Chain A
Amino acid sequence: MKIPNVITAMLAGIILTLASLWFGQNHGLMPVAASEEAPLVDDLFNAMMTIAAGLFILVQGALVISIIKFRKRPGDETDAFPVDGNLSLEIVWTAIPVVIVLGLSVYSFEVYNSMGGLDPMASHDHGPHQMAMTSGAAIAAPLPGMEDTMPPATEQKIALGVGASPENQGNPADLEVNVMGLQFAWIFTYPESGVVSGELHIPAGKEVQLNIAAQDVLHAFWVPQFRLKQDAIPARTTELRFKPKVPGDYPVVCAELCGAYHGAMQTRVVVETPEDFEAWLQTQIALQKDAASQTVAMNPGELSDGEFLTPFVRDMGIDSAALEQLHPPAHHEHHNS
């Protein structure tokens, strides 16, 4: 009986390992990986899925086998053989998780570093906008009544988020876009050309830096296909720097609850070839020359959301479904007093 047990255990171990390895690579749970950073996250996720699948099968398998094999036999009112511990077994199942989580920590650290998360320009908190301190004000407090929440466009600045990957640190990105989140839309400003858009267009294969700000409440900029997300925080600039790779049309999702129409706060990011991107940019410049004053000289605080958003809806191709949500029949006096 001993030998078959050993063989069964070995076979079970092999099948468990193969099944976990297979599942870790073939779960198909992630959407398209459209940025250079995304495959790094996916590989990490696959590794974690492999380990998780192994542990899942091990524990659930033990439970199922127990239910079948160790259920009380009819008429047997006795207790089971008392085993109240096993030091070496306990050391093993303490040590294995220690090794796993240390390994995952190191691996995650490496991935995060390669993505640019530890870029010194993006990983030190300097509080809300660094401003001169007024006497008596709290440390690092910005000047009261500061209106300019748009991040300054050109000079190198420190912002939280995911910055340049180690090989690009210190170099400016190929393209900078200022991202403003507001209830319930995204506005993208291209500081070099002055183009303002409701959709994000970016060239494939170029380093893109998004300087993210919020006008009213917290929002979060998320593109699932880039595996990148960063909160937009009023009076504080955050950043995401990445290299889009696969041309296509992807959703930009607001991932931080921002009010009643949070779910409608979506637009798209278009990754296109550098030539197509340049062509789009030129069209926008031409369009914007015609209607330069429409979107800039406006104080959103005086307008209701619907009124405020109307020009964006008109100019920026927000689709009709989203438009419908932005014009609720009633109740929109609730948010943003």
Chain B
Amino acid sequence: MTTAGIETTVKPPEPHGESDGNNWRKYFSFSTDHKVIGIQYLVTSFLFYLIGGLLAEGVRVELATPDPDFVDPQLYNGLFTVHATVMIFLWIVPGTAGFANYVIPLAIGAKDMAFPRLNAVGFWLIPPGGILLLSSFFVGAPGAGWTSYPPLSVVGDKAGQLLWILSVLVLGTSSILGAINFLSTILKMRIPDMELNDMPLFCWAMLAASALILVSTPVLAGALILLCFDLMAGTPFFNPMAGGDPVVYQHMFWFYSHPAVYIMILPVFGMISEIIPVHARKPIFGYQAIAYSSLAISFLGLIVWAHHMFTSGTPGWLRMFFMIATMAIAVPTGIKVFSWVATIWGGKLRLNSAMLFAIGFVSMFLVGGLSGVMLASVPFDIHVHDTYFIVAHLHYVLFGGSVFGIYAAVYHWFPKMTGRMMNEFWGKVHFFLTFFGFNLCFLPMHWLGLQGMPRRVAQYNPEFATVNMVCTVGSFILAISTLPFLFNAIWSWIAGPKASANPWRALTLEWQTSSPPPVENFIEEPVLWSGPYEYGIDTLSDRQSVDELLTEVKGEV
């Protein structure tokens, strides 16, 4: 009832958050408002996404022909190294953190995050981290891959590698601060009526991802600090010629960097679980299975790291252990995929841009998941490890998965964040260009890897020339597909049609306040009058009164 009251009071189009005039300056300030910080995260990470995309285009232009004729080979190694680092640490991780920042306090009925100042510190570590990383191009970009395996990483240019290490340390710290905040907020700041099992699934996913961040990121920091000593002070931690062991670095690195995949995909799983039921007008299928499978993935994600090392200095028994553990992750992941499909099945699908990207996510992530199970198998992985098959697989997981999911989330929560609707036509153009360009770019890479093309090369056998050209064309389409999104987002933010408090008629709490929400989110204490996904109650009238339903429907303008 209270929520209904709020909705009627916010009918005037002036959203509370923007009533104080030219407040764009707050986005450049040390704001402690989680909504400002969320948007700061999102806009910053999207800018880095564009930079990372340009670096990727550099890589693809080089690979359009078999000869290394576009950039100097050392610079080429810098391009893909910084591309990967930007996309991971400056785009997907902070991008999903941006959504979590914006949505989670609202979705649990809180006024802000548990530690607002810490939250701001977490964000303000991102720009210096990014500038450090990109400035490495002025001193010789790090060229040892985002994995920075020694000895290669310690025998090249010291300055660029040092900047890379410092940047990742700064960004890792930011990630840890965010994780502490999400855990505390979700566990302690929910409105009193909301039990763990009433939480939106995004909260479960963020619990799982934050736990992973806290357990694994410090190990990466340890590895990088040791690497830094090796690089700058000549210590022999990983130097085999002086008694060190480079394989130890690989274990430490992947102890973070495999969980990093789940740190990047679990929040997106959560967002997809929010988006699909709303636009399918149907409850999520198997709430508890989806919630607990996030925790299962989080736990299993910690014991699979050595599947990145099946051809490294690893004994046979260890390869077998990590093979079986990795295969096991397919089970909770499969539960999620099947549950999403079952949610879509039998719905009344609103095929808007958010839903198209969400379905595209399920479809593309499936491909990455299937190739992931194959890669768990040691005999097969030995063949394709460090080839373009891996490049294809990881982009199906992180682009087809994470980035599609982030786009779905942008279209879904944009009205809440800005108080404006995005243009649906250009949203669909964006989706189809992205879907087509993505598959054209990355699907043929499976073949390349199986046939014998290793990754991280500036030159390759001429027999792969045609397919590489196809991939490069796909990457151009993918690059162009960003433009309709960019202009749509900017134009809609400035001049899009005003959004109501609840344009999608969603049931989670963030939609029960104005768009955008006022400074402390809710004018009155929100009341939990429905589960997060109880769609379809108009066809069953056992629990909710029709009145409540109608006032809820009235939220739509």
Instruction: Scan residues 297-355 of chain B and give those whose CB is less than 8 A from a CB of chain A.
Output: 311-320, 323-324, 327-328, 330-331, 334-335, 337-339, 341-342, 344-351
Residue A185 interfacial (CB < 8 Å) = no
Does B222 sit at the interface, judged by CB under 8 A? no
CB contacts (< 8 Å) of A277 on chain B: these are none
Please measure, in the bound complex, the distance between the C-alpha atom of A337 and the C-alpha atom of B455, giving whole angstroms. 24
Interface membership of A171, Cβ < 8 A: no
A258 and B77 CA atoms in complex are apart in Å by 10
Interface residues of B in 215-255 (CB under 8 A from A): 240-247
Alpha-carbon gap, A260 to B383, bound state (A): 23
**Contact in complex: B373, A52 (CB < 8 Å):** yes
Distance to closest chain A CB from B226 (angstroms): 13
- In the complex, what residues of A have CB within 8 A of residue B380's CB? 41, 44-45, 48, 108
A124 within 8 A of B: yes
Alpha-carbon distance A227/B380, docked complex (angstroms): 8
Q: 1/0 per position for A309-337, CB-CB distance to B under 8 A? A: 00000000000000001001011001111
- Interchain CB contact under 8 A, A227 and B382: yes
**What 1/0 flags go to B433-468 for Cβ under 8 Å of A?**
000000000000011001110111111110000000
8 Å CB contact of A97 from B331, B385, B459: B331
Contacts of B115 in A (CB 8 A): none
Q: A93 to B289: give the CA distance in the assembly, Å.
A: 11
In the complex, are the beta carbons of B363 and A63 less than 8 A apart?
A: yes
Q: Do B346 and A56 have beta carbons less than 8 Å apart?
A: no
B233 to chain A, nearest CB (A): 15
Please measure, in the bound complex, the distance between the C-alpha atom of A79 and the C-alpha atom of B282, giving whole angstroms.
Answer: 7
Size of the chain B interface, CB-CB below 8 angstroms: 106
Q: Which of A193-238 contact B (CB under 8 A)?
A: 216-218, 220, 222, 224-225, 227-231, 233-236, 238
Residues of B within 8 A of A67 (CB): 349, 351, 359
Complex Cα distance, B240 from A145, in Å, reads 10
Which of B143, B283, B446 sits near A84, CB closer than 8 Å?
B283
B556 to chain A, nearest CB (A): 9
**B488 close to A (CB within 8 Å):** no
A255 touches B387 (CB 8 A): yes
Whether B382 lies near A231 (C-beta < 8 A) is no
In Å, the complex CA distance between A154 and B316 comes to: 23
Q: Which residue of B lies closest to A91 (CB)?
A: B289
CA A251 to CA B451, docked complex, whole Å: 11
Report the separation of the CA atoms of residues A149 and B220 in the bound assembly, to the nearest whole angstrom: 30
Q: How far is the CA of A283 from the CA of B429 in the complex (A)?
A: 65
Would A229 and B331 count as touching, CB distance under 8 A? no
Contact between A66 and B347, CB atoms less than 8 A apart = yes
A117 to B346: give the CA distance in the assembly, Å. Answer: 48
Residues from chain B with Cβ under 8 Å of A233 in the complex:
240, 246-247, 312-313
The interface-forming segment of B3-11, B52-60, B147-155 is: B147-155
Interface code A129-159, partner B: CB below 8 Å = 1, 0 otherwise? 0000000011001111110000000000000
Contact between B451 and A31 (Cβ–Cβ < 8 Å)? yes
* Interface-lining segment among B169-177, B195-203, B490-498, B531-539: B531-539
The CA of A336 and the CA of B154, in the complex, are separated in Å by 9
Residues of A within 8 A of B240 (CB): 128, 142, 233-236
| Binary CB contact string for chain A from 71 to 101 against chain B (1 if under 8 A, 0 otherwise) | 1110011111111111001100110011011
Among A31, A84, A216, A227, contact of B287 (Cβ-Cβ < 8 Å): A84
Q: In angstroms, how far is the closest chain B Cβ from the Cβ of A318?
A: 14
Chain B neighbourhood of A281, CB < 8 A: none
Which partner residue on chain A sits nearest B81 by CB separation? A257
B131 within 8 A of A: no
Pairs across A and B, CB under 8 Å, 14 listed: A41-B380, A59-B363, A70-B346, A80-B346, A101-B373, A105-B323, A125-B318, A142-B240, A146-B241, A224-B452, A225-B452, A231-B312, A260-B76, A331-B73
